[in-house]
């Protein structure tokens, strides 16, 4: 059967990078006093910017040769006078930067306090928060600077001190002072709170906001004010870099090596301790700085927003390309997505209207998966990035130009995956419980706290009328079984729940003469079931044994869970008596279940029709091993091929005409299918072709390269080869699929 498609076009905006001027060595520079404007040389007076509106800092007299003159003779005298050891110059850098750092602290402790701190517009609480936490740091570094100055004077032989000793070292000075600096950690941690409180108060006080703005216009405030709040934390990073260079320079036998290494260990400990504070402060400071440059946005520094990049792009409009400034911000915490999903479910339970709106939305073509799966997409995408980078690093030799960046990116994304792994596991389980809830009737609340989904699928239950097909749902506390209701909602009616606590399992093929059968012995009821194959039986027995073991270790909390979730007034065992038969299917039509439209292609329905089962690990792999790209599909009754955009996710292939289509035109659930390579007898004389077949259904798809062929084979196999409980247990730790 051939598919017909409507061709849709979607015209969007086009972005192009702004041209960047080449460096002087690659371009011809205009003569002095001239600049290039639209390809023409124009005169430019000293201190004037190209647009003629304000002085250019790049042409001030202080930065020209005329403003700084030194003779070669003076350079020669300096080289002969001072030491030449690299350690000296490292210590000299410590001295010069410490002087600058102390001046930066004075901007807050002296200048800002004098201009703003004494005004009544600043509340006492804010005044104390800022200056009480900056002044101890300032006083400490006054002493530190004197120690460094004295050591450098001794090193250079300029000191009048008559004490003899080895002063060509600085590690001991740093070790002593860093140990003192560690006592100020509490003050350093308060600087972020001070910056937040200053911003909060400025938002509510026009006068204080004006005072801060006026202070920033003073010459002493040569940087945005809030940057000075970050200086103490940045200085820790500078100390760490200086000590790393010292330790790298010194041989282990050097007198200063031991002290330098000890100081490096201390400062590294402080950096690790304060790293999170620094990251948050840097981001918050940048948002505050950008806020002053932007108009038309009420509050840029909203909780959870992270700045990523800003810069020029040319935006294509009706008037052609126009230069614009763009700001890329990460506006949501990935960890908040689980909270959003929980809150949506909670609100839907209390609001029939919202529940109906969500249900109606899921019936739209654009919502081609259960709605709550889309809440997991950002976390799953991290897994995809990790997989892609792992393949790149495995492919590249260590000498490749891209190897280093790829490995660094892999390290970063792996850190995120580990950090968010627990959130992902919980969200996947919660999402699955919500999805199953829509397929079942006769159970009030499936997503109870502590419940974990393990496996669902078809088993045949032995009753007085013989073997009857049932859908079984295995959780960590209970095994539920259902029959398919003949209702408009197409849901499965729960007939029984078997608590796992105290349950035993025994293979019983010989006892009943039924292939692939086993018996479940509950505390008050026994059930005989049969799987469709030996492999299906092995998966079920393995997972049920694992679940029983876990339930026994938990001392059987399932009774409370069952009483809160089962809707019938009878006990689970009574409600699942053996009188249940196919007659119940007609009786279920009069049940009070909601008669609403329901998707018939959910995983539960696919398992029912194809008499198979899937586990929670299978669901996770199918969602995390996503793939999309162009494939050619062979027509059934001709040698022609049709190009389609194909997305693999959630055990299914979704087919689009192009990647720009808003919703899929068709889908193919893969559960029960096998993937192979066509044989010679099938006369498929093309490269990179794979075959999907289930009973009499056969499809051929062709990929564009060996790599994409192998990738499609890999991800589709992940959906057609069910997992064991061993992978389920290993999944509790971060892993690579």
- Report the alpha-carbon angle 723-729-733, nearest 5: 115
Residue at 57 is within a domain: yes
Nearest to 470 by CA among 503, 448, 440: 440
Q: Which residues pair with 676 in a beta bridge?
A: 691
Number of domains the chain contains:
5
- What is the largest distance, in Å, between two alpha-carbon atoms of the chain? 111
Q: Which residues pair with 325 in a beta bridge?
A: 312
The first and second tokens of residue 96, run together, are 């010069």
SS3 648: strand
Per-residue pLDDT at 594 exceeds 70: no
Per-residue pLDDT at 554 exceeds 50: yes
Q: What value does the mean pLDDT take over residues 62-75?
A: 42
Tell me which of 77-86, 120-129, 223-232, 312-321 is least confident. 77-86
Per-residue pLDDT at 547 exceeds 80: yes
Q: State whether 48 and 184 are in the same domain.
A: no
Residue at 313 is within a domain: no
Q: What value does the mean pLDDT take over residues 603-614?
A: 87
Q: State whether 68 and 88 are in the same domain.
A: no
Residue at 583 is within a domain: yes
Q: How far is Cα 497 from Cα 584, in angstroms, rounded to an integer?
A: 16
- Provide the pLDDT for residue 298: 67
CA distances (Å), origin 455, targets 459, 472, 613, 618: 12, 8, 7, 9
Residue that finishes a domain, picked among 409, 431, 453:
431
Tell me which of 304-308, 390-394, 469-473 is least confident. 304-308
Higher pLDDT pick, 558 / 505 = 505
For the domain that residue 718 is a member of, what is the CATH number? 2.30.29.30
For the domain that residue 359 is a member of, what is the CATH number? 1.20.900.10
- Provide the pLDDT for residue 139: 94
CA distances (Å), origin 230, targets 108, 191, 243, 372: 11, 8, 21, 41
C-alpha dihedral, 253 to 259 to 265 to 271, nearest 10°: -130
Q: State whether 492 and 532 are in the same domain.
A: yes
Q: What value does the mean pLDDT take over residues 276-299?
A: 72
Nearest to 405 by CA among 414, 393, 387: 393
Contact (Cβ atoms closer than 8 angstroms) between residue 133 and residue 190? yes
Q: Highest mean pLDDT range out of 73-77, 92-96, 339-343, 413-417?
A: 92-96
CB atoms within 10 A of CB 362: 17
Higher pLDDT pick, 423 / 557 = 423
Q: What is the pLDDT of residues 244-273, one digit of tens each?
A: 999 999 999 999 999 999 999 999 988 888
Q: State whether 111 and 20 are in the same domain.
A: no
Contact (Cβ atoms closer than 8 angstroms) between residue 310 and residue 325? yes
Q: What is the pLDDT of residues 332-344, one digit of tens each?
A: 467 678 778 888 8
- Provide the pLDDT for residue 62: 33
Q: State whether 95 and 185 are in the same domain.
A: yes
Q: State whether 476 and 554 are in the same domain.
A: yes
SS3 30: coil
Contact (Cβ atoms closer than 8 angstroms) between residue 487 and residue 593? yes
Q: What value does the mean pLDDT take over residues 399-418?
A: 86
CB-count burial class (<10 Å; 0-12, 13-18, 19+) for 687:
exposed
Contact (Cβ atoms closer than 8 angstroms) between residue 502 and residue 521? no
Residue at 259 is within a domain: yes
Tell me which of 92-96, 647-651, 732-736 is least confident. 732-736
Contact (Cβ atoms closer than 8 angstroms) between residue 692 and residue 716? yes
Q: What is the pLDDT of residues 453-476, one digit of tens each?
A: 999 999 999 888 888 899 899 998
- Provide the pLDDT for residue 302: 64
Category of 709 on φ-ψ map: left (φ > 0), alpha (ψ -120 to 50) or beta: alpha
Residue at 735 is within a domain: no
Structural domain of residue 661, as residue ranges?
A: 624-730
Q: Which residues pair with 720 in a beta bridge?
A: none
Higher pLDDT pick, 81 / 425 = 425
SS3 455: strand
What's the whole-number average pLDDT of the chain?
76
Q: State whether 576 and 656 are in the same domain.
A: no
C-alpha dihedral, 585 to 591 to 594 to 599, nearest 10°: -10
Q: State whether 97 and 242 are in the same domain.
A: yes
Q: State whether 260 and 178 are in the same domain.
A: yes
Q: What value does the mean pLDDT take over residues 339-368?
A: 87
Distant-in-sequence contacts of 634-640, Cβ < 8 A, 24+ apart? 634/684, 634/689, 634/699, 634/700, 634/701, 634/702, 635/2, 636/1, 636/2
Q: State whether 67 and 105 are in the same domain.
A: no
Residue at 609 is within a domain: no
> What is the band of 630 on the pLDDT scale with cuts at 50, 70, 90?
very high
H-helix or E-strand containing 304? none
Q: What is the CA radius of gyration of the chain?
A: 35
Q: How far is Cα 553 from Cα 541, in angstroms, rounded to an integer?
A: 18
Q: State whether 536 and 469 are in the same domain.
A: yes
Q: How far is Cα 317 from Cα 353, in angstroms, rounded to an integer?
A: 41
Per-residue pLDDT at 73 exceeds 80: no
Q: State whether 645 and 717 are in the same domain.
A: yes
Q: How far is Cα 551 from Cα 543, in angstroms, rounded to an integer?
A: 12
């Amino acid at each position: 059967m051939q598919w017909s498609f409507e061709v849709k076009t979607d015209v969007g905006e086009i972005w192009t990078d702004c041209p960047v001027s080449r460096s002087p060595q690659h371009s011809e520079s205009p003569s002095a006093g001239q600049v290039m404007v639209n390809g023409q040389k124009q005169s430019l007076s000293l201190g004037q910017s190209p647009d003629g509106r304000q002085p250019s800092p790049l042409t001030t007299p202080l930065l020209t040769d005329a403003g700084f003159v030194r003779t070669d003779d003076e350079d020669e005298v300096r080289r002969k006078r001072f030491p030449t050891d690299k350690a000296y110059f490292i210590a000299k850098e410590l001295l010069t930067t410490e002087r600058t750092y102390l001046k930066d602290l004075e901007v807050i402790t002296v200048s800002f306090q004098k201009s703003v701190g004494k005004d009544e517009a600043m509340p006492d609480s804010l005044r104390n928060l800022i200056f009480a936490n900056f002044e101890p740091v300032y006083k400490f570094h006054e002493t530190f600077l004197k120690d460094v100055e004295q050591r450098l004077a001794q090193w250079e032989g300029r000191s009048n001190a008559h004490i003899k000793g080895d002063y060509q070292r600085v590690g001991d000075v740093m070790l002593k002072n860093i140990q003192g600096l560690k006592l100020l950690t509490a003050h350093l941690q308060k600087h972020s709170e001070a910056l937040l409180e200053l911003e909060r108060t400025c938002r509510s006080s026009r006068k204080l906001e004006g005072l801060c703005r006026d202070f920033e216009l003073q010459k002493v405030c040569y940087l945005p004010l809030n940057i000075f709040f970050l200086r103490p934390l940045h200085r820790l990073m500078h100390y760490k870099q200086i000590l790393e260079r010292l330790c790298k320079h010194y041989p282990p036998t050097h007198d200063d090596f031991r002290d330098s290494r000890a100081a490096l260990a201390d400062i590294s400990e402080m950096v690790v301790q304060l790293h999170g504070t620094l990251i948050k402060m840097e981001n918050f400071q940048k948002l505050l700085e950008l806020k002053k440059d932007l108009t038309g946005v009420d509050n840029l520094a909203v909780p959870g927003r992270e700045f990523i990049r800003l810069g020029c792009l040319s935006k294509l409009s009706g008037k052609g390309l126009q230069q614009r400034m763009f700001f890329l911000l990460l506006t949501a915490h990935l960890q908040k997505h689980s909270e959003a999903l929980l809150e949506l479910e909670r609100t839907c339970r209390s609001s029939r209207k919202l529940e109906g709106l969500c249900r109606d939305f899921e019936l739209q073509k654009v919502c081609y998966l259960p709605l709550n799966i889309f809440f997991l997409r950002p976390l799953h995408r991290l897994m995809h990035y990790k997989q892609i980078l792992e393949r790149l690093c495995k492919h590249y030799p260590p000498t490749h130009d891209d190897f280093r960046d790829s490995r660094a990116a892999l390290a970063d994304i792996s850190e995120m995956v580990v950090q968010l792994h627990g959130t992902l596991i919980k969200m996947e389980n919660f999402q699955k419980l919500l999805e199953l809830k829509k397929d079942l009737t006769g159970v009030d609340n499936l997503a109870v706290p502590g419940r974990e989904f393990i496996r669902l699928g078809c088993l045949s239950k032995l009753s007085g009328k013989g073997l009857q097909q049932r859908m079984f749902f295995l959780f960590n506390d209970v095994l539920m079984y259902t029959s398919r209701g003949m209702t408009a909602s197409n849901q499965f009616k729960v007939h029984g729940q078997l608590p796992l606590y105290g349950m035993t399992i025994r293979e019983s093929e010989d006892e009943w003469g039924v292939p692939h059968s086993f018996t479940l012995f509950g505390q008050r009821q026994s059930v005989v079931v049969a799987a469709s194959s030996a492999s299906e039986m092995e998966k079920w027995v393995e997972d049920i044994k694992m679940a029983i073991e876990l339930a026994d270790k938990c001392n059987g909390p399932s009774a409370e869970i069952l009483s809160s979730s089962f809707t019938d007034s009878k006990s689970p065992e009574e409600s699942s008596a053996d009188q249940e038969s196919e007659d119940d299917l007609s009786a279920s039509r009069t049940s009070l279940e909601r008669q609403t439209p329901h998707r018939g292609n959910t995983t539960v329905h696919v398992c029912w029709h194809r008499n198979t089962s899937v586990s929670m690990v299978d669901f996770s792999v199918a969602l995390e091993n996503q793939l999309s790209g162009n494939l050619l599909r062979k027509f059934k009754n001709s040698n022609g091929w049709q190009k389609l955009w194909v997305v693999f996710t959630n055990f299914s292939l979704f087919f689009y005409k192009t990647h720009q289509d808003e919703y899929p035109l068709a889908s193919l659930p893969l559960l029960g299918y096998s993937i192979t390579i066509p044989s010679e007898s099938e006369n498929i004389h093309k490269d990179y072709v794979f075959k999907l077949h289930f009973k009499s259904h056969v499809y051929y798809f062709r990929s564009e390269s060996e790599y994409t062929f192998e990738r499609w084979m890999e991800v589709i196999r992940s959906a057609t080869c069910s997992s064991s409980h061993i992978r389920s247990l290993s999944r509790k730790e971060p892993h690579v699929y």
